[in-house]
Amino acid sequence: MAKKKTKQPAVKRPGLDDSVEILSAGEVMETAITDTLEQNYMPYAMSVIVSRALPEIDGFKPSHRKLLYTMYDMGLLKGAKTKSANIVGQTMRLNPHGDAAIYETMVRLSRGNESLLVPFVDSKGNFGKAYSRDMAYAASRYTEAKLDSVCEELFRDIDSDTVDFVDNYDSTRKEPTLLPVTFPNILTNNTLGIAVGMASSICSFNLEEVCNTTIALIKDENHNIKDTLLAPDFAGGGIILYDASDIDSVYETGRGSIRVQSKWEYIKEGNLIEVSQIPPTTTVEAIMDKVADLVKQGKIKEINDMRDETDLRGLKLTFDLKRGQDPEKLMAKLFKSTPLEDSFSANFNVLIGGVPRVMGVKEIITEWLAFRTECVKRRTYHTLKGKKDRLHLVKGLEYILLDIDKAIAIVRETEDEKEVVPNLMIGFGIDEIQAEYVAEIRLRQLNRNYILKRIEEKEQLIAEIAELEAILKSEAKIRRIIIKELEAVVKKYAKPRKSEIRYGLPVVEAEEKTEEIPTYPVHIFTTAHGYMKKITPQSLRMSGEHKLKDDDAITQQIETTNDAHLLFFTDTASVYKSRAAQFEDSKASVLGEYVPAKLAMDEGENIVHTVVTKDYSGFLLFVFENGKVAKIPLSAYETKTNRKKLLNAFSDKEKLVKIMHFTENTDVVLISSVNRALVVNTAQIPEKTTKNSIGVQVQTLKKNQTVKSAITLEAAQLENHTKFRTKNIPAAGSFLKENDIAQQLTLE
């Protein structure tokens, strides 16, 4: 077992004699690492589990409960709204966390944030939106809040000893350990909590369905909950793709997955799709980011534009479609590839008596019933005690009724005020409590009618006490009370489902097959500034002069087909891969498409050469300033996976002069800065398998000399090129003269 050794230096305390020894000073203590973890880490872990992250049977975490009770204590259940900053400040008397954490808790509980199916805070102002990552809530000084009317069900009879109260963190106030909720709130709102070594993720269910299911289970413990609890219901709506096995797993074990699909509509007039509801596990921005990535990668081609049109009326995400596109097929692709369809992973982990338990829906309702039964019993007992105390006082008044004059005489004839109560006790045979009550009656109330009215309560109190005692003795009566309360909640707060349930419908899957690319001849034109045009031969014949930006020029013209692969090599030694089909057919009269933007290149990254291939045959020559040349097979850039960017596409240790693509061995001319020309056949250059190879020395150079250009011998059209050719490399080459150079090649 691992041991931890610590050596503590001897400690001398001011004012103590040197002979005084301090225990443990200078001793070497051996401690098992497991003991250290148990003493230091386990208390923290248990604190997070029990007092922070997991909900209890009332459906609240401690932070929620402290906030709501503070608002209740502030009179915000019936009163007007107050500034959120005021609420946060008051809550800090119960919650030792900072104001930011408290306010964030209140935001999530609010109606404005739309996180909860049954919100508890009636909010005014900007509280953000649960479905938006970037729509931030306003500061607490700008917003106002009070408790929503449904909170009456959270605090009903809380002053009737229905739950235990404990001291707050500094023992200056009392706070409830649980709230006596009159409905299974644990299931009506979604809760997410991450503790140490465990987590909780509870999906929300419709309030009416939960209450009806609870009532049905009270009446018949063998009730099939799927008959009344149809499926989860989320605050943001969406479409639940009903899978019986998944629902059974969640209902029975508390663990499982619920697939939720966005709700959308095709608007034929505008040729667009409007998404109005999304899964609870995502945001509008996350969806838009993913769709944008798919469009950049060329996987989604049906969309022209995408907009977030969310306003005061609610969420709206719009996709403008290209002409002739099938919206059903597009949405099938998006559901498969984006969070427009997502899964809610359920993990019903709840604290029961301070112990975390993962339970199914039926077990949770059973535990809630046990909790609510105890609340009703405690409330009944508290009411019974009050009735009995009142009956005791009324019985004392009966004796006064027998002789009011005697009571008055006792009070009048008693010399000392302190002796009034004892004398009444002796005179009428009543106890101290009854005598104190009689003594406190005002003189004008000591009339026969007043006393008779008070005594009339006796029979009513006796009947009420009998009823309360009967309730305490009968589980059936308590169950009927709970049912009545649940029915009242349904009548007052029930709302229609927000999430639609889709039964037995096959989910349309996007086609796995690669989309067939039409093949037809095209001309590829690239410019020095990074623009590219893909023009068909017919269009090219009818076109005039190319439209270019000022100081831009065409650098490459390649004949190929629409299904060709394009490799764009950049000055950062990277290569971006695309297909010609991913670029729109263009004309000479337009600028073309800006390749760095289309392929999402880094800022400042420039294209140095474009390679067009259909089968990755041939090889590339990378000519560097130091006279070295790297010969790399083009097949080295072919990848089995659909990678769009390759790093280290060539060596960046020396400045690149030119990239050349050949399908067969060819004569190449290298020209140095001192106008020495060297003709070499590519067969003489050994091939390298590593893409970023520095190559081999081909042209020898003296100090301060560099290779300034490279060109094929056919394009150079050198006169008497044999004098520039060498059998072995490296070689310096021969000086160029005026009569050696054709018109196409000029000296610098």
* Active-site residue set: 142
Instruction: Output the six-digit token pair for 620.
Output: 């590339």
CA distance 257 to 242: 11
CA atoms within 13 A on the CB side of 580: 29
Instruction: Output the six-digit token pair for 293.
Output: 């990535």
Instruction: Output the six-digit token pair for 406.
Output: 């005697």
CA distance 726 to 737: 18
Q: Comparing C-alpha atoms, which of 135, 71, 72 is closest to residue 103? A: 71
Rounded to the nearest 10°, the torsion over CA 277, 282, 288, 292 is -130
CA atoms within 13 A on the CB side of 314: 9
Contacts 24+ apart (CB under 8 A), 614-619: 614/560, 614/561, 614/563, 614/564, 614/565, 616/565, 617/663, 618/661, 618/662, 618/663, 618/664, 619/661, 619/662, 619/682, 619/687
Measured CA to CA in angstroms, residue 442 lies from 45, 67, 445, 455, 650 at distances of 61, 44, 5, 17, 105
Q: Comparing C-alpha atoms, which of 620, 628, 622, 633 is closest to residue 689? A: 633
Helix-helix angle 475-493:361-402, to 10 degrees: 110
Instruction: Output the six-digit token pair for 532.
Output: 């590219």
CA distance 54 to 48: 8
Q: Alpha helix (H) ranges present in 517-611?
A: 537-542, 595-598
CA distance 395 to 603: 92
3-state helix, strand, coil in the chain (%, to 5): 35, 25, 40
Give 37's DSSP letter: I
Largest separation between any pair of C-alpha atoms in the chain:
150
DSSP E strand boundaries for 503-644: 521-527, 531-535, 554-561, 565-570, 575-579, 593-594, 607-613, 619-624, 628-633
Q: The tokens 């520095």 sit on which residue?
A: 694
364, 70 contact by CB (below 8 A):
no
CA distance 215 to 220: 9
- DSSP, collapsed to helix, strand or coil, labels residue 579 as strand
Name 457's Cβ contacts closer than 8 Å, sequence gap at least 6. 390, 391, 394
Burial status of residue 3 (CB atoms within 10 A of its CB: 0-12, 13-18, 19 or more): exposed
733, 721 contact by CB (below 8 A):
no
350, 357 contact by CB (below 8 A):
yes
Q: Comparing C-alpha atoms, which of 151, 515, 117, 507 is closest to residue 302? A: 515
Instruction: Output the six-digit token pair for 595.
Output: 């390749």
224, 83 contact by CB (below 8 A):
no
Give 235's DSSP letter: T
Measured CA to CA in angstroms, residue 491 lies from 60, 455, 477 at distances of 24, 39, 21
Element spanning 392, H or E:
helix 361-402
Q: How many helices (H) and strands (E) does the chain have?
A: 20, 35
